[in-house]
Amino acid sequence: MQARQETRNTNTKGVVYRTTCQNPGCGCTFDLRITPETVSLLSGPLACPRCRRHGGMLKPQGRLGDKLFGAKLVFRLTGVAEPRSASDEDDLFETAGSR
């Protein structure tokens, strides 16, 4: 009986973030239990346990209940180049046309 009480005490320790992966095609919902020992999870990028995509940041959505919060696992775009300005394209066409 004492083991059950210890299990209950560890289950109520910390806060839970009910998280949904925002990776297109995934949408996995999972719970992150944040305790004083695991608080560093909130400061860095996370990986989704289903799609395994790395680099997601936890974005809080608000309180769902006592010690239960809603959150999204949001990924930022990588490898996207800046759009060229119109003057760059004009210079490119002028150089090609003068040959």
Q: pLDDT tens-digit profile of 62-81?
A: 999 999 999 998 987 666 55
- Is the pLDDT at 84 greater than 90? The verdict is no
**In the predicted model, what is the mean pLDDT of residues 23-51?**
89
Average pLDDT, the chain: 76
**Predicted pLDDT of residue 33:** 93
**Predicted pLDDT of residue 89:** 53
In 3D, which of 10, 9, 52, 8 has the Cα closest to residue 30? Answer: 52
User: Which residue is associated with the tokens 């996995």?
Assistant: 28
Residue 59 exposure: Cα atoms within 13 Å on the Cβ side: 10
For residue 71, the tally of other CB atoms under 10 A from its CB is 20
pTM for the whole thing?
Answer: 0.59
